[in-house]
Structure 1
């Protein structure tokens, strides 16, 4: 399995490298108020990818904070393990009704 993962990574690297080599033409990006940016196409694509990643992380941050606050406020249910159930058994009342999906 590890060999397959490394082969997939190598293929992805070489595909992106070939994409970068094939897109070295200079393109012009016209912004607002007459601002113009001339850069290689691959740089423009990577900048758009980076901007999308930053926007995605920033848009998810409030949700992550909310979930983290909920997890810190939730009391930990301490139930002694029963002898007949075994150490891996989970009590039915261990998951509060407010969080049916366990999150």
Structure 2
């Protein structure tokens, strides 16, 4: 079972690594007031994922505090 879990982790890692290698084109993200950000597509996707993760945690913090007390 331990080896199967390591194999699954390795498969996920190599899939994400291949995704990153295949998405190295520059993407432009346009913000308000003419501001723009140019970065590789994989960084744009990663930034969106991290932003969503942070937003989700911030929304859950009051509920966690309420449950602790």
- The question of a shared fold, defined as TM-score above 0.5 by the shorter chain, is answered with yes
Q: What is the rounded CA distance, in whole Å, between the counterparts of 2:2 and 2:56 in structure 1? A: 30
- Larger of the two Rg values belongs to structure: 1
Relative CO higher for 1 or 2, CA cutoff 8 Å, sep ≥ 6? 2
Equivalent residue, structure 1, for 2:52: 52
Equivalent residue, structure 2, for 1:24: 24
Q: What is the rounded CA distance, in whole Å, between the counterparts of 1:64 and 1:3 in structure 2? A: 35
Q: What is the rounded CA distance, in whole Å, between the counterparts of 1:25 and 1:32 in structure 2? A: 23
Structure 2 gap segments, 5+ residues each:
none
Q: Which runs of 4+ in 1 moved over 6 A?
A: none
SS of residue paired to 1:39: strand
Task: Return the structure number with greater strand share.
Answer: 2
Structure 1 gap segments, 5+ residues each:
70-103
TM-score, normalised by the number of residues in structure 2 = 0.98
TM-score, normalised by the number of residues in structure 1 = 0.66
Structure 1 residue 53 displacement after superposition = 0.6
